[in-house]
Amino acid sequence: MTDRAPTPERPAPTELVVLDMAGTTVADDGLVEEAFRAALPDAGPEQTAYVLATMGTSKITVFRHLTGGDETRAQEANTAFEQAYARLVDDGHCAPLPGAEEALRRLRAQGRTVALTTGFARTTQERIIAALGWHGLADLTLCPADAGRGRPHPDLVLTAALRARVSSVAAVAVAGDTDSDVRTGLNAGAGVVAGVRTGAHGEEELRAAGATHVLDSVASLPGLLEAREG
């Protein structure tokens, strides 16, 4: 990482990279939708469409909406979802996206702190990391319970920024596959907010949400940051 002072032509170096998991660094392959169906087997087309549209959002927030604000039902559905997703992970339905692991290693080799974030519960996040053999691959792993609120609120990114002791939020890069990921990065004031086309939302949705860059995959992120810093 360069220590040159930023200028209008040369932005501040990225000190922290905050990455989503499912759909960004970890292959989803419909697992989230399948787990939602297990949690709410009577869900109709409108509810399923809402689930797909809100990919990346904290799961308990989604269930609160789907259950009409019934906290007991929302918590029960969220627990059923986490259990169903965990079973899928344990059955081997969990794999890194192509180039993701190499990207994480390269980002850290560049001198950047790397944080993996998710809308899942901590136990599910840990299960995914264990299944992938990713212990120690990232500097930080955060879920909504660690930060206060999930996406699209800025809490996950700002919590990572505080723990990484960045010099400013402009020195943070955020990458994710959903418009919720993008809005989280923008709400936090991140200097780079990249959408990736490997998950729930396509380029049009990511750009409409305000992404500063749209990439084919997270594998392109280390090169983007290097080029951006000159």
- Residues 46-99: pLDDT tens digits? 887 787 777 777 778 888 888 888 899 888 888 888 888 888 888 878 899 999
- 171 CB-contact burial (10 Å; exposed 0-12 / middle 13-18 / buried 19+): buried
Cα–Cα distance measured from residue 59 to residue 62, given in angstroms and rounded to the nearest whole number: 5
- Residues 93-137: pLDDT tens digits? 889 999 999 999 999 999 999 999 998 888 889 989 999 999 999
Full DSSP string of 96-152: BPTTHHHHHHHHHHTT-EEEEE-SS-HHHHHHHHHHHT-TTTSSEEE-HHHHSS-TT
In which residue are the tokens 């919720």 written?
A: 180
Q: How many Å is the Cα radius of gyration of the chain?
A: 17
Residue 92 is given by DSSP the state T
Q: Which two tokens stand for residue 129?
A: 């990391």
pLDDT band at 161 (very low <50, low <70, confident <90, very high): very high
Mean pLDDT taken over the chain = 89
